[in-house]
Amino acid sequence: MNIFYRLSLLIPLFSLLTHAQVQLVGTGATFPAVIYSKWFDEYRNTTGIQINYQPIGSGGGIRQIIEGTVDFGASDGPMTDRQLSDAKSKQGTGILHIPTVMGAVVVCYHIPGLGKGLNLDSRALSDIYIGRITMWDDPYIKNLNPESNLPHRAVLVAHRSDGSGTTFIFTDYLSKISSEWASKIGRGTSVNWPVGLGGKGNDGVAGLVKQTEGSVGYVELAYAIKNNIPYADIKNQSGYFIEPTFSSVSAAAMAASVNMPSDLRVSITDPPGKGSYPISGFTWLLVYQNMKNETKAKALVNFLKWAMSRGQALAAGLYYVPLPASIIKLCNNKINLITANGKKIK
């Protein structure tokens, strides 16, 4: 029996190793996971507060904040009114959407013998994802890329298998520009894909595209750049092929932020403007307006303020687009609304 005694003695020993310090738990979008993990690492180094973020997908962020199993959620698709009322009835408090950074969803591809600079437009994209365009040398794609030497290879479509804000931004765009897409498939954090392979997370899709010749997928810009996967220039409303860059995403944000709704839930896909990249979006942290634990509330508010100032400076280095100053102001107003048991946070 001795062994069992010894084994059971080990367990309290493990818990003795614990230290009493604040730990926040959040789950959600994989789209901003690269910058969030950098932020949380930096923030721990400066303040000692651990923020454990698990990128399980935007759908997961929304689900878990409704269930109250996390301290905050994260999503690239805003919560629907129905989800907000669900959360209100389950958790007894409203949910605030705080934009943190912006990012572009890029259409990345892996075509042997073809580097950067494939041109695509909305129709090509929706046809690829509906399954009408199946070969890379399809006349329609050839027509958009007269100079490129497109191989006679099957188009291997990759999409997300999990609930994802990246999917939301992408399908939101396709729904805006294709009525067929809007009626048949629609927009959402997960949709019923007509073709393709499912990868879990932005990293999963980037991994699929990187490992698979002839593939095409949609991921957050940072994932494409960090992995050296080429991505396409997309034709915008004004008829220009735009490369996703800081300035083209900022241009989209500026164009869209003119009429920003008060709850900051805004879609900036397919924006007007000559230089706007058409498939981009905000990513939000989802936080309870009234938190039950004061220490946690304080830690979260301080972190959010840090993210709006020091955090923004870290964004560019990781290929995320910092928020324009006008939006940061709106965010700080929102952050000040967070309370702990009804009391203001000092």
**Of these, 74, 133, 177, 185, which contacts other proteins (CB under 8 A)?**
185
Q: Give the angle 321-65-253 at the CA atoms, nearest 5°.
A: 20
Distance of CA 144 to the CA centre of its chain: 29
**Of these, 31, 62, 133, 169, which contacts other proteins (CB under 8 A)?**
62
Q: Which helix (H) or strand (E) holds 59?
A: helix 58-67
In the complex, what is the shortest distance from the CB of residue 220 to other proteins, in angstroms, rounded to a whole number?
11
In the complex, what is the shortest distance from the CB of residue 257 to other proteins, in angstroms, rounded to a whole number?
26
Name the one range near other proteins by CB under 8 A: 120-128, 198-206, 235-243, 330-338.
Answer: 198-206
Q: Which helix (H) or strand (E) holds 2?
A: helix 2-16
- Tokens 């009804």 — which residue? 342
Going residue by residue from 139 to 178, which x/- string records binding to other proteins, judged by CB under 8 A? ---------------xxx----xxx---------------
Rounded to the nearest 10 degrees, the angle between the axes of helix 58-67 and helix 81-91 is 30
Return the residues of window 20-59 that contact other proteins according to CB under 8 A.
Answer: 23, 25, 27, 33-34, 37-38, 40-41, 44, 50, 52-59
For residue 105, report the phi and psi dihedrals to the nearest 5 degrees.
-90, 120
**Of these, 78, 99, 103, 207, which contacts other proteins (CB under 8 A)?**
207
Name the one range near other proteins by CB under 8 A: 125-133, 139-147, 186-194, 320-328.
Answer: 186-194
In the complex, what is the shortest distance from the CB of residue 279 to other proteins, in angstroms, rounded to a whole number?
19
Please say which residue, 8 or 46, places its beta carbon nearer to other proteins.
8
Report the C-alpha gap between 165 and 76 in whole angstroms: 4
Q: Which helix (H) or strand (E) holds 217?
A: strand 215-220
Please say which residue, 21 or 238, places its beta carbon nearer to other proteins.
21
Among 107, 117, 131, which residue's Cα sits nearest to residue 205?
A: 107
Q: Does residue 18 belong to the site contacting other proteins (CB under 8 A)?
A: yes
Report the C-alpha gap between 307 and 312 in whole angstroms: 6
- Tokens 């309290």 — which residue? 12
Dihedral of the alpha carbons of 42, 202, 232, 120, in degrees to the nearest 10 = -140
Q: Does residue 88 belong to the site contacting other proteins (CB under 8 A)?
A: no
Going residue by residue from 220 to 259, which x/- string records binding to other proteins, judged by CB under 8 A? --xx--xx-x------------------------------
Q: Does residue 5 belong to the site contacting other proteins (CB under 8 A)?
A: no
Please say which residue, 66 or 242, places its beta carbon nearer to other proteins.
66
Query: Which residue type occupies 76?
Result: D
